[in-house]
Amino acid sequence: AQRVTQPEKLLSVFKGAPVELKCNYSYSGSPELFWYVQYSRQRLQLLLRHISRESIKGFTADLNKGETSFHLKKPFAQEEDSAMYYCALSGPPGANSKLTFGKGITLSVRP
């Protein structure tokens, strides 16, 4: 069975501090890993995916297959980063690419 674990529910940091949101997964095969973000009163939106290897809004995430992790990192948090973050996985691209989400973590960046 596929599973995504986000061990923390809340992370509160000061502006300018580094951020690391943890995500571990279990999946038999080669999953695709994603981070979704939900800002206050907005819809869920894709932040980044491991295959694109991009840095979005200063965030990066590296897939570590040995540790089955996909932690989200940002060296200097901004107040506008305050949001709910979900780690998710799916199987290979295709019509059955349902997402399995973690329970999410609330990031609060204080001024």
Partner 1 sequence: AAGVIQSPRHLIKEKRETATLKCYPIPRHDTVYWYQQGPGQDPQFLISFYEKMQSDKGSIPDRFSAQQFSDYHSELNMSSLELGDSALYFCASSLVSGGGASSDEQFFGPGTRLTVL
Long-range pairs of 9-14 with CB within 8 A, sequence gap ≥ 24: 9/103, 9/104, 9/105, 9/106, 10/105, 10/106, 10/108, 11/105, 11/106, 11/107, 11/108, 12/107, 12/108, 12/109, 12/110, 13/77, 13/107, 13/108, 13/109, 13/110, 14/77, 14/109, 14/110, 14/111
Q: How far is the CB of 44 from partner 1 (least distance, A)?
A: 4
Nearer to partner 1, 14 or 39 (CB): 39
Q: How far is the CB of 110 from partner 1 (least distance, A)?
A: 23
Nearer to partner 1, 57 or 103 (CB): 103
Nearer to partner 1, 38 or 82 (CB): 38
Nearer to partner 1, 77 or 107 (CB): 107
Interface residue list for partner 1 (CB under 8 A): 4, 36, 43-46, 49, 51-52, 86, 90, 93-104
Q: How far is the CB of 27 from partner 1 (least distance, A)?
A: 14
Q: How far is the CB of 93 from partner 1 (least distance, A)?
A: 4
